[in-house]
Structure 1
Amino acid sequence: MTAHPAPRPSRRERPAKPALTREGIIETAVALMRSEGLSRVTMRRLAQELDTGPASLYVYVRSTAELHAAVLDELLGAVDLGPARADGDWRDRLVEVLTSYTAVLFEHPGLARSALVSRPFGDRYLDLLDALLALMSEGGIPRARAAWAVDLLLQFATATAAEHAPGEKDPADAEGEWAALAAALHGASGERHPHVTAAGAELLSGPGEARMDWGFQVLISGILHTPRHGTSDTSRPSLPKE
């Protein structure tokens, strides 16, 4: 007898797919990023993962940029905001929060680069902003100045992570580029580049953590002593009354 293949189940017999939700889409995007990298988190690839068409996703997420911003917002839940509620010098605690934010981006270099142009706008991002603003308020930084300063601090943290986090590049290539830079600096002409020659090894000195901490401290010092032009930001901030 000739064996016949079992009939395929009709659409009615197949298990129903779970309804699409924005939360479910973002959760799947985060899982996809962790397994395949951010470059694979596209609307088309995500639609395949969810067994639907790309057009269905645009009802919940308007673009790939918004999708990446939502993924970042989800991951910002790992930022340690505890220092904002702790005791101790407000500047040190501000740096602790910013360092924790940078560490999250270091784990996902593609996301760090995306964060330079795709800003999150969800609750976790607002939690981060509120913590940073609270610490600057504690330090006596006027609210108008702090409102601009928080953007500056996060730009520095994000750019640092995007530049130094390990990415998809071959480690040997990265090491070769660093060696080429070091050779160029050490071999600079004292006549053509006297200041480069004088600085010498200091241009490449210090561990990355020390440089980043110093950078944050430089920015905070500048924020403390640089008023915003065109605003009356010299008064100490206070929370709005209930």
Structure 2
Amino acid sequence: MPDETEAPRSRRERPAKPALSRVGAVSTAVHIMRTEGIERVTMRRLAQELDTGAASLYVYVRNAAELHAAVLDELLADVDLSPVTSEGDWTERLHAVLVSYVVVLMEYPSQALAAMRTRPSGPHALDLTEAVLALLHEGEVDGPRAAWAVDLLLQIATATAAEQSGHDENPSNGEEWDALTRAVENADPNRHPRIHALGPELLSGEGEDRLRWALTALTNGILATPRNKTEE
């Protein structure tokens, strides 16, 4: 029999759940991503963490894609944008911002891969875009050209982070690299003469060095390539 001396606990005495909000939902989603991985950031998992029904979340986040974009935007708050207001060559400062963006993505490999499919439109994503545009403007890149250039620069940076993160997450990455090295070094000089001749160069360079070279090549191309032939 139940203990009649123990009074039933009123529901009013239980701690109240915090009110739902978009900020709270995204913050919780970021926590799930950091502790469990981006693949666990689902509407159902988020609802479970917030002790609510999944249907209640749709008021604040329309779907999982929007949720993932919001999570990515929160991560972009860590991108170092200080080079925009510092001194020095504008191209070096532009590349510093983009390298910082790559580093932030690579801290969360699953998010770096997801960034290839996500189009964040939150305030931090806009801050990053504004920073790149400001530096292009400083380099006297005209508006129409800069509008396309920012997309190109962020694409190569995102792809670099996703590719490297994919390698880092792959437990057989070392074996794959060894196999590629052997294939290049042992390339048939008759069938693949240029690979045979450039083997060491094809495999040379640290990741950041190659990224900075790629960004420099892109920047030089942007400066030399008008959007329309009539601008030449």
Same fold (TM over 0.5): yes
Structure ranking higher in helix proportion: 2
In 1: Cα distance, 2:78 partner to 2:103 partner: 10
1:91 equivalent in structure 2? 91
Structure 1 position 131 matched with structure 2 position 131: yes
Task: Output one character per residue of 1:171-206: Cα deviation in whole Å (capped at 9) or x when no partner.
Answer: xx1111111111111122122211211111111101
- DSSP-derived class of the 2:211 partner: helix
For residues 46-65 of structure 1, what are the structure 2 equivalents within 5 Å?
46-65=46-65
For residues 4-153 of structure 1, what are the structure 2 equivalents within 5 Å?
9=9, 11-153=11-153
- DSSP-derived class of the 1:116 partner: coil
Alpha-carbon spacing, 1:153–1:78, altered in 2? closer, same or farther (3 Å): same
Deviation for aligned residue 1:7? 8.0
In 2: Cα distance, 1:8 partner to 1:163 partner: 58
Q: Which moved more, 1:36-45 or 1:154-163?
A: 36-45
Q: TM-score, normalised by structure 1?
A: 0.89
Deviation for aligned residue 1:133? 0.5
User: Aligned residues, how many?
Assistant: 230
Deviation for aligned residue 1:230? 6.5
Structure 2: stretches of 5+ with no match in the other structure: none
In 1: Cα distance, 2:230 partner to 2:105 partner: 34
Deviation for aligned residue 1:14? 2.8
- DSSP-derived class of the 1:75 partner: helix
Deviation for aligned residue 1:169? 2.8
1:240 equivalent in structure 2? none
Alpha-carbon spacing, 1:182–1:12, altered in 2? closer, same or farther (3 Å): same
Q: In structure 1, give the amino acid aligned to 2:114.
A: S
In 2: Cα distance, 1:182 partner to 1:7 partner: 74
Q: Which moved more, 1:121-130 or 1:189-198?
A: 189-198
Task: Output one character per residue of 1:48-83: Cα deviation in whole Å (capped at 9) or x when no partner.
Answer: 111111111111111211111111111111111110
Q: In structure 1, give the amino acid aligned to 2:170.
A: K
